[in-house]
């Protein structure tokens, strides 16, 4: 594992968290029920908090003077290395909870590994806190997928469509690239193939309880980790970054 | 009114006059119940409509720290809405009925939220002035005669005071920042100052519900008294920021021991209430859209809960049969 791979691995953790946190925060004020405005905001806050911690740490590893905001606000979409899944639009509530369920199932296991590994104690410290949050995110999302799947015929159809639509973005989570492989060999990051089987067990169990059909594995979209994103990310970043980019000398 | 009711009402008045709390199961005059339902639901609606102007800047907050603080603040407003809807429900109205009234335009919410948030500095001005004015209005409600409302307000006020401080902090950072940031702060203050003064409602002479609410210990201070307190508190804060309040008539009155201030444009106030504010349609439209878009989700949750209950019942029945 090179220094730049170490940096990239930590940066990616921050990118996943920030992009999904930014997406979820858009529900605040617009949820289907007030309790969900609160719950989704909570999850968004957890993720933004995790992003801040991982970015700060990534900046220290890089040692080029970049802090959390430099990494969040002054990189283009081609420099973001989040998974494509988390940048997918919120869509309707079912799309949002399915995206969350798929991601949280993965992030929870990844984070549990990060909390245990001994290669980077700072990563372990951040992960130890995050793992509790991710556990709640998973529970919350899985419960909603079950309610929607086993709710009304309309909700069943809608959430089945969400599952079918988003399934093709889950393969990337378990497709290692050079950074993943080197960091897994060094013991910093988990072996993605191993995570895949536990992810599948959990997700399939959730979908079955929700009376939903598990899609067949087909083509998996990928490229996020290499900075080749869907068209959505650039718009998201344009909005998110507008103030620091317009007033680069200002502090807020 | 029957003699029994007259007797109950006299006892109620005496009870309230002794600063005792009325609880949901206590007898209360119909008008008291109606006044509280109107006021508490209006207050709850203000919290959730009030999420929108600030929610407008969550995606564009200029640092991750500011984003987290703003999101937490708007989330708190949702929590306030929740406590207040619950407090109103103790009076025999459902949250769904209250929302229907809001969506139909029958229930009001604080008019200030019909103004747009145009720049990041509006997050400072709203926190500092709008939450500041809200606190001024709300602190006395912690001693309101209706127990559930009073208790909800204790919690709301604690959080509001944190909100006001964060708003002031945003303003302070801008006022001490680049010339562009300072101009942004001044512009926001110019736009939010007068609407904030209007938040206290019409002058006492024109305030239809004031006298009765005072008698019932729902309201403790007059609109004008609270407005004056707010001005007196805010002037030194604006000086600390190095910003100018947009009122040429504002000056200290030694004799009164208060600041004098200029005339409020009540024509604007009543027009915004009537629906002619810059964002009335957008705000209500956003609430209605969230409600309508979420209908299938709520239906699904209800259907699932019904199925689960039936499954539970069947499971229990088969356990007993075994």
**pLDDT tens digits for range B124-170:** 999 999 999 999 999 999 999 999 999 999 999 999 999 999 999 99
Nearest to B296 by CA among A22, A136, A162: A162
In a mutational test of the A interface, the residue from B61, B67, B285 whose CB has the highest number of chain A CBs within 10 Å is: B67
Q: What is the pLDDT of residue B322?
A: 66
Greater confidence, B28 or B5?
Answer: B28
Q: What is the pLDDT of residue B210?
A: 80
Residues in chain A within 8 Å Cβ distance of B293 = 30, 32, 92-93
Q: In CATH, what number does A3-213+227-246 get?
A: 1.20.1260.10
For B259, which DSSP code?
E
Q: b/e per residue, B8-22, with b = 16+ CB within 10 A?
A: ebeebeebbeeeebb
Cβ-defined contact of B303 to A247 (cutoff 8 Å): no
Question: How confident is the model over B232-282, as pLDDT tens digits?
Answer: 999 999 999 999 999 999 999 999 999 999 999 999 999 999 999 999 999
Determine the residue of chain B that is closest to A156 in CA distance.
B300
Cβ-defined contact of B82 to A38 (cutoff 8 Å): yes
Q: What distance in Å separates residue A44's CA from the closest CA in chain B?
A: 8
Question: How confident is the model over B43-98, as pLDDT tens digits?
Answer: 999 999 999 999 999 999 999 999 999 999 999 999 999 999 999 999 999 999 99
Residue in A48, A155, A240 nearest the CB of B60: A240
B320 pLDDT more than 80: no
What is the pLDDT confidence band of residue B211, given thresholds at 50, 70 and 90?
A: confident
Task: Please give the average per-residue pLDDT across B218-229, as a whole number.
Answer: 94
Helix (H, G, I), strand (E, B) or coil at B318: helix
Determine the residue of chain A that is closest to B182 in CA distance.
A250
Tell me phi and psi for residue B22, to 5 degrees. Answer: -90, 135
Q: Is B184 left (phi over 0), alpha (psi -120 to 50) or beta?
A: alpha
Cβ-defined contact of A93 to B120 (cutoff 8 Å): no
Return the structure tokens found at A180: 């993943």
Task: Please give the average per-residue pLDDT across B30-39, as a whole number.
Answer: 96
Determine the residue of chain B that is closest to A91 in CA distance.
B293
Residues in chain A within 8 Å Cβ distance of B52 = 29
Residue B6's alpha-carbon distances to A31, B16, B31, in angstroms, are 46, 15, 14
- The Cβ of residue B98 has, within 10 Å, a number of other Cβ atoms equal to 22
In a mutational test of the A interface, the residue from B304, B307, B311 whose CB has the highest number of chain A CBs within 10 Å is: B304
Q: What is the pLDDT of residue A84?
A: 98
Determine the residue of chain B that is closest to A72 in CA distance.
B64
B3 pLDDT more than 80: no
Residue in B55, B60, B303 nearest the CB of A243: B60
Residues in chain B within 8 Å Cβ distance of A38 = 75, 78-79, 82
Residues in chain B within 8 Å Cβ distance of A73 = 62-63
Residue in B78, B295, B296 nearest the CB of A37: B78
Residues in chain A within 8 Å Cβ distance of B75 = 28, 37-38, 41-42, 45
Task: Please give the average per-residue pLDDT across B166-195, as a whole number.
Answer: 97
The answer to whether the CB of A88 falls within 8 A of the CB of A102 is: no
Q: What is the pLDDT of residue B212?
A: 87
Cβ-defined contact of A239 to B60 (cutoff 8 Å): yes
Residues in chain B within 8 Å Cβ distance of A22 = 59
Q: What is the pLDDT of residue A218?
A: 87
Question: How confident is the model over B112-125, as pLDDT tens digits?
Answer: 999 999 999 999 99
Domain ranges of chain A: 3-213+227-246
Per-residue pLDDT of chain A (252 residues; tens, 9 = 90+): 999 999 999 999 999 999 999 999 999 999 999 999 999 999 999 999 999 999 999 999 999 999 999 999 999 999 999 999 999 999 999 999 999 999 999 999 999 999 999 999 999 999 999 999 999 999 999 999 999 999 999 999 999 999 999 999 999 999 999 999 999 999 999 999 999 999 999 999 999 999 999 999 888 999 999 999 999 999 999 999 999 999 999 999
CA A119 and chain centroid, separation:
23
Residues in chain B within 8 Å Cβ distance of A243 = 60-62, 120
Nearest to A122 by CA among A59, A53, A191: A53
Residues in chain B within 8 Å Cβ distance of A250 = 62, 177-178, 180-181
> Would an 8 Å CB–CB cutoff place A49 in contact with chain B?
yes
Residue in B120, B299, B302 nearest the CB of A243: B120
- The Cβ of residue B173 has, within 10 Å, a number of other Cβ atoms equal to 19
Q: What is the pLDDT of residue B318?
A: 84
The answer to whether the CB of B256 falls within 8 A of the CB of B93 is: no
Predicted complex ipTM: 0.98
Residues in chain B within 8 Å Cβ distance of A72 = 64
Angle between helices B179-198 and B147-175 (to 10 degrees): 150
Q: How far is residue B199's CA from residue B135's CA, in Å, rounded to a whole number?
A: 11
Q: What is the pLDDT of residue B205?
A: 79
């Amino acid at each position: 594992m090179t220094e730049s791979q170490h940096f990239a691995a930590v940066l990616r953790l921050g990118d996943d968290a920030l992009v999904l946190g930014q997406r979820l925060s858009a529900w605040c004020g617009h949820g289907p029920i007030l309790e969900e405005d609160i719950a989704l905001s909570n999850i968004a806050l957890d993720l933004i908090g995790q992003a801040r911690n991982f970015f700060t740490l990534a900046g220290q590893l890089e040692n080029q003077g970049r802090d959390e905001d430099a990494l969040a606000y002054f990189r283009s979409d081609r420099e973001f290395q989040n998974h494509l899944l988390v940048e997918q639009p919120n869509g309707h509530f079912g799309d949002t909870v399915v995206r969350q369920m798929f991601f949280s199932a993965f992030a929870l296991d990844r984070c549990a590994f990060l909390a245990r590994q001994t290669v980077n104690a700072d990563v372990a410290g951040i992960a130890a806190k995050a793992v509790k949050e991710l556990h709640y995110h998973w529970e919350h999302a899985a419960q909603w997928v079950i309610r929607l799947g086993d709710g009304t015929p309309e909700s069943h159809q809608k959430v089945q469509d969400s599952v079918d639509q988003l399934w093709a973005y889950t393969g990337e989570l378990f497709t290692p690239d050079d950074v993943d492989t080197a960091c897994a060999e060094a013991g910093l990051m988990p072996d993605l193939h191993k995570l895949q089987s536990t992810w599948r067990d959990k997700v399939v169990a959730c979908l079955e309880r929700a009376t939903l059909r598990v899609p067949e594995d087909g083509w998996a979209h990928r490229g996020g980790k290499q900075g080749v994103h869907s068209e959505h990310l650039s718009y998201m970043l344009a909005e998110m970054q507008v103030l620091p980019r317009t007033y680069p000398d200002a502090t807020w | 009114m029957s003699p029994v009711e007259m007797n109950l009402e006299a006892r109620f008045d005496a009870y309230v006059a002794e600063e005792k709390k009325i609880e949901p199961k206590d007898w209360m005059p119909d008008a008291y119940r109606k006044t509280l339902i109107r006021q508490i639901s209006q207050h709850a609606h203000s919290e959730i409509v009030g999420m929108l102007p600030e929610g407008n800047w969550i995606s564009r907050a200029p640092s991750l720290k500011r984003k987290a603080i703003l999101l937490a603040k708007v989330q708190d407003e949702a929590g306030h809405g929740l406590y207040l809807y619950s407090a109103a429900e103790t009076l025999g109205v459902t949250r769904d009925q209250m929302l229907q009234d809001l969506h139909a335009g029958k229930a009001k919410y604080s008019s200030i939220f019909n103004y747009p948030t145009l720049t990041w500095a509006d997050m400072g001005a709203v926190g500092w002035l709008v939450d500041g004015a809200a606190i001024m209005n709300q602190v006395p409600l912690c001693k309101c005669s209706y127990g559930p409302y009073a208790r909800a307000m204790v919690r709301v006020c604690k959080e509001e005071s944190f909100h006001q401080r964060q708003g002031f902090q945003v303003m302070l950072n801008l006022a001490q920042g680049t010339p562009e940031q300072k101009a942004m702060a001044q512009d926001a203050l110019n736009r939010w100052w007068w609407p904030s003064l209007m938040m206290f409602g019409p002058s006492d002479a024109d305030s239809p519900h004031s006298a009765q609410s005072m008698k019932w210990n729902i309201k403790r201070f007059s609109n004008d008294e609270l407005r004056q307190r707010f001005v007196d508190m805010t002037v030194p804060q604006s000086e600390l920021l190095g910003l100018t309040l947009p009122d040429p008539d504002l000056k200290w009155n030694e004799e009164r021991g208060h600041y004098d201030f200029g005339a409020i444009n009540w024509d604007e106030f009543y027009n915004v209430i009537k629906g002619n504010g810059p964002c009335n349609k957008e705000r209500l439209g956003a609430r209605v859209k969230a409600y309508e878009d979420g209908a299938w989700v709520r239906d699904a949750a209800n259907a699932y809960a019904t199925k689960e209950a039936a499954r539970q019942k069947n499971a229990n029945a088969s356990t007993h049969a075994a």
